[in-house]
Amino acid sequence: MIIRAKCKIYTLWYNIFLMDTGINELQTKSTQLNSEPQALRKQRLTIVGIILLGIIILGALVTGLVFLISPGLTSIETVSRLRDIFIILMALESLLIGLALTILIIQIARLTNLLENEVKPILDSTNETISNLRGTTKFLSDNLVEPVIKLNEVIAVFQQVTDIFKLTRKR
């Protein structure tokens, strides 16, 4: 009860000071808290699904081993069929891996092309701009800043000389 009252007072003061923004911190925190259970539920369902898939695969492997090891349950024809199916599955898997490697090589070629034809000219123009800027700053330093500094030195010397003469005249 006290916490809710403090939250309402905090919300009231917060809204008074930040009326033009229209953003309320407590509302954003409450929406974050509401989205966390949904994300947690989704994460739990994913974990349960992965565990169930692992149990099913493990069960299939154990069942397959039992049938292959016990000669009374399986015949030679069944074992040869399972072997042939396994060989076919391995061939399909190697085809998928080859396809994935081909796609990877194509993507690497596209990335290389991108770097050579698009990024390199941008870097070259950036280097040219930097060298132009470096030349401009050197020119300004030599022709504008140094004379101004020398002029300030001369003015400071004249001021010191006049101050010295004024001090000696007063005494």
The pLDDT, as a whole number, for residue 28 is 52
The pLDDT, as a whole number, for residue 75 is 75
For CA atoms 69, 59, 92, 95, give the dihedral sign: negative
Q: Judge whether 67 and 81 are in contact, CB under 8 Å.
A: no
The pLDDT, as a whole number, for residue 171 is 45
Check whether 29 has a pLDDT greater than 60. no
Residue 55's pLDDT band, with cuts at 50, 70 and 90, is: very high
Percent of the chain surpassing pLDDT 70: 75
Residue 82's CB is within 10 A of a number of other CB atoms, namely 14
pLDDT digits (tens, 9 = 90+) for 137-159: 999 888 888 888 999 999 999 98
Which of the two residues, 56 and 144, has the higher pLDDT score? Answer: 56
Q: Please state the pTM of the whole predicted model.
A: 0.41
Q: Which of 2-16, 76-90, 103-117 has the highest mean pLDDT?
A: 103-117
The pLDDT, as a whole number, for residue 10 is 47
Q: Which of 3-12, 74-83, 84-93, 103-112 has the highest mean pLDDT?
A: 103-112
The pLDDT, as a whole number, for residue 88 is 92
Rounded mean pLDDT of 31-50? 83
Among 24-38, 75-89, 155-169, the minimum mean pLDDT is found in 24-38
DSSP letter for each residue of 40-66: HHHHHHHHHHHHHHHHHHHHHHHHHHH
